[in-house]
Amino acid sequence: MVRIGCGAGFGGDRLEPAVRLLEDGALDYLVLECLAERTIGLGQKRRMHDPASGYDPLLERRLRPLLPLLKEKGTRIVTNMGSANPLAAGRKIAGLAGELGLDITVAVVTGDDVLSVLDPEAPSMEDGRPLSSYGRILSANAYLGADAILPALQSGADVVITGRVADPSLVVAPLAHHFGWDLGDAARVGQGTVVGHLLECAGQITGGYFADPGRKDVPGLADLGFPFADVDADGNCVLGKVAGTGGLITAATVKEQLLYEVTDPTGYVTPDVIADFRSVRIAPLGPDRVEVSGGTGRNRPDTLKVSVGYHAGYVGEGEISYAGANALARARLAGEVLHQRLASQFPDLRVECLGGEAYRYGFLEGREPTREYRLRIVGRAQTQEIAEEIGREVEALLTNGPAGGGGARKYIQETVGIVSALLPRTKIAHQVTVMRSAS
Amino acid sequence: MSIRLHDIAHCRAGDKGNTSTLSVIAYDEAMYPLLCRALTAEAVKAHLSRNIEGEVTRYEMPNVGALQFVCRQALHSGVTTSLTIDPHGKCLSSELLEIEIPEA
């Protein structure tokens, strides 16, 4: 039996649940999954300005309370916080450990950055257009698998840090290492991938993103405990969390996470396996304890998915509120004014009315009027200067627009778009670099 | 008689590029056959037609008493480039739970 916990499910996740897991969870491995699709593109841009950056901006804050506990608890960390610069992240961790007076080894997994070997004229998986036609390419990272992480674990390192790897591989690799699995054993790796997929979003399986008051009540959301899995040599597991933490684990929370972001439950493709979820069995054993077994799979694919980040311009955005008497008509008029002033400059412009079912419609179409509306206008531009026009026009409504508009806000965001391509495994070489803290 | 989906099932939305995944999970697995009968891919596409422009594929998962709907071209060009207030399409899950399905 091996116990693997997940202490972060995305880059901005809460910091303290991982500390609680490490302190009281009796973990063998602590996984921190912090990499969203566009994170590496943004990291690559930071790295261009400063070659020592490009890794997860919360790396130090997240790891500082964890590193001193690793030896005492006998736990090893596996994380993808290396983002666009895993080697710099490794040096940062070794330096931080040294500063804390700790003797720690860090193994860095590289090889996911395939920008130099990717053909920019290759077709995208999304619509077959050449990758270069989307915009200036910023990054290209292959999803590495457990085979790339395994040598890092075999080095004995306390912390394994990667760039882009498939999320479930962060769990499959420690399982394969612990039990000596052959990575070609598709049945075991398939069930291991189920475990990884269940753990990778951390709180999303312990009652986070689940509560629907009156239907699905969750205790203690403000102090949500993060999950661990006790996994046996075949990959079957019992999910649990630290006693006394908030949240809950039930068959229902596990089912929601099992199907989360799965575009084909009969063939969930990772670099390790094509996993099949149709035979997965979910059995509650007691409070916050659920057994998951039966996942299987077919042989891994010959190609790896590459996530390509491209410059997608700047998005300018502004918001303003209208409430009380005739609020909807005033919000609508404000929207019309903004549209009139901006449409010629912004071919890609969207006006929404929050409070008026904005997520479905550009504008309310006559259902259940409320007493308060927030008008939102957003558009894309090639330069920041042009994108800023949108916020300025929204602010100008304060003295030029309909009566009673308030709470004007403006935002600018540089955007990185993502498209995907496939690359043969033979084009990708992964390496491990081991570093030791200087205490 | 019709029944509101929210009364018998829960749902989580996921996203991959411009594809939205919507799981529909029966609270009581005894209700799973009803879901299979009444909640077709066409019904889901029609209910969410304001957002879903592409094809909807339904996967039956009797092992967990759930249906998985995979909805193409459903996220206004995709999470990283959509200009909508909810680029991940998270709200689609609760909107789907508003659908009324025939009980018998």
Identify the pLDDT of residue A368.
58
What distance in Å separates the CA atoms of residue A295 and residue A254, rounded to the nearest whole number? Answer: 14
| Among chain B residues, CA nearest to A281 | B63
Half-sphere exposure of A165 (CA within 13 A, CB side): 36
Residue A131 covered by a domain: no
| pLDDT tops 60 at residue A363 | no
Report the pLDDT averaged over residues A276-288.
98
Considering the domain architecture, whether residues A66 and A182 belong to the same structural domain is answered as: yes
Say if residues A281 and A225 touch (Cβ distance below 8 Å): no
- pLDDT exceeds cutoff 80 at B13: yes
Residues with Cβ within 8 Å of residue A241, at least 6 apart in sequence: A206, A225, A226, A227, A228, A247, A249, A288
Mean pLDDT score, A14-29 = 98
Q: Quick one: A206 and A324 in the same domain?
A: no
**Does the pLDDT at position B8 exceed 70?**
yes
Contact B80 A264 (CB under 8 A): no
**Region A221-241: what's the mean pLDDT?**
98
Distance between CA atoms of residues A283 and A251, nearest Å: 7
Confidence of residue A356 (pLDDT cuts 50, 70, 90): confident
Burial track A261-281 (b if 16+ CB lie within 10 A, e otherwise): bbbbbebbbbbbbbbbbbebe
Nearest residue to A142 via CA among A417, A425, A415: A425
Report the half-sphere exposure of A316 (CA within 13 A, side-chain side): 23
**What mean pLDDT comes out for the span A50-66?**
97
- Tell me how close the Cα of B104 comes to any Cα of chain A, in angstroms: 23
**Distance of alpha carbon A143 from alpha carbon A112, whole angstroms:** 7
Q: Does A360 have pLDDT greater than 70?
A: no
The shortest C-alpha distance from A92 to chain B (Å) reads: 29
pLDDT score, position A358: 59
Nearest chain A residue (CA) to B91: A359
Same-domain status, A237 and A351: no
Q: CA-based angle A97:A98:A102, to the nearest 5?
A: 60
Residue A130 lies in a domain: no
Q: Do B80 and A416 touch (CB under 8 A)?
A: yes
- Judged by CB atoms closer than 8 Å, whether chains meet at A252 and B64 is answered as no
Range of the domain at A318: 308-418
**Shared-domain flag, residues A191 and A288:** yes
Same domain, A159 and A253: yes
Look over chain A and give the mean of its residue pLDDT values, rounded to a whole number: 95
pLDDT tens figures, A205-220: 999 999 999 999 999 9
A342 and A276 part of one domain:
no
Query: Looking at beta carbons, which residues of chain A come within 8 Å of B82?
Result: none
> Above 80 in pLDDT, residue A141?
yes
Classify B2-102 by CATH class.
alpha beta
Higher model confidence: residue B10 or residue A42?
A: B10
Q: Is residue A132 included in any domain, yes or no?
A: no
Please report residues of B whose CB lies closer than 8 A to that of A277. 61
Residue A362: the pLDDT is 56
Q: Is the residue at A73 inside a domain?
A: yes
Using CB atoms and an 8 Å cut-off, which of residues 277-296 of chain A contact chain B? 277-282, 294
Which stretches of chain B are assigned E, i.e. beta strand? 2-4, 9-16, 19-26, 56-61, 66-71, 100-102
Write the ipTM: 0.98
Do A299 and A380 lie in a common domain? no
List of residues 6+ apart from A366 with CB closer than 8 A: none
Q: Is A29 left (phi over 0), alpha (psi -120 to 50) or beta?
A: beta
CB B13 within 8 A of CB B25: no
Q: In terms of DSSP bridges, do strands B9-16 and B2-4 run parallel, antiparallel, or are they unpaired?
A: unpaired
Listed residue (A329, A350, A331, A328) closest to A339, CA to CA = A350
Determine the pLDDT at residue A166.
Answer: 98
When CB atoms are compared, the residue of A281, A348, A359 closest to B84 is A359
The CATH number linked to A370 is 3.30.70
Residue A127 lies in a domain: no
Question: Do A216 and A299 lie in a common domain?
Answer: yes
The pLDDT, as a whole number, for residue B87 is: 92
| A129 within domain boundaries | no
Is A380 part of any domain? yes
What are the pLDDT digits (tens) for A328-347? 889 999 999 999 999 999 99
- Number of structural domains in chain A: 2
Alpha carbon distance A217, A211 (integer Å): 5
Residue among B54, B79, B38 nearest A37 (CA): B79
Q: What is the pLDDT of residue A205?
A: 98
The encoded tokens of residue A398 equal 């304060």
Edge-to-edge order in the sheet of strand A2-8: A281-286, A289-293, A237-241, A227-231, A2-8, A29-32, A76-79, A159-162, A105-110, A431-436
- What per-residue confidence (pLDDT) applies to A367? 58
* CA–CA min distance A416, chain B (Å): 7
- Chain B contact for A217 (CB, 8 A cutoff): no
Q: Which of A138-147, A159-168, B74-83 has the lowest mean pLDDT?
A: B74-83
Report DSSP state, residue A124. P
Residue A168 shares a structural domain with residue A239: yes
Confidence of residue A169 (pLDDT cuts 50, 70, 90): very high
- Of A226-235, A257-266, A352-361, B20-29, the one with minimum mean pLDDT is A352-361
Residue A369 has pLDDT above 70, yes or no: no
Which chain B residue's Cα is nearest to A205? B12
Say yes or no: A222 and A348 in one domain. Answer: no
Do A84 and A23 fall into the same domain? yes
pLDDT 10s digits, A92-106: 999 999 999 999 999
Is residue A135 a part of any domain in this protein? no
Number of H helices, E strands in chain A: 11, 18
Are B95 and A360 within 8 A, CB to CB?
yes
In this prediction, residues B57-63 reach a mean pLDDT of: 98
Q: How far apart are the first and last CA of chain A?
A: 34
Q: Are residues A100 and A33 in the same domain?
A: yes
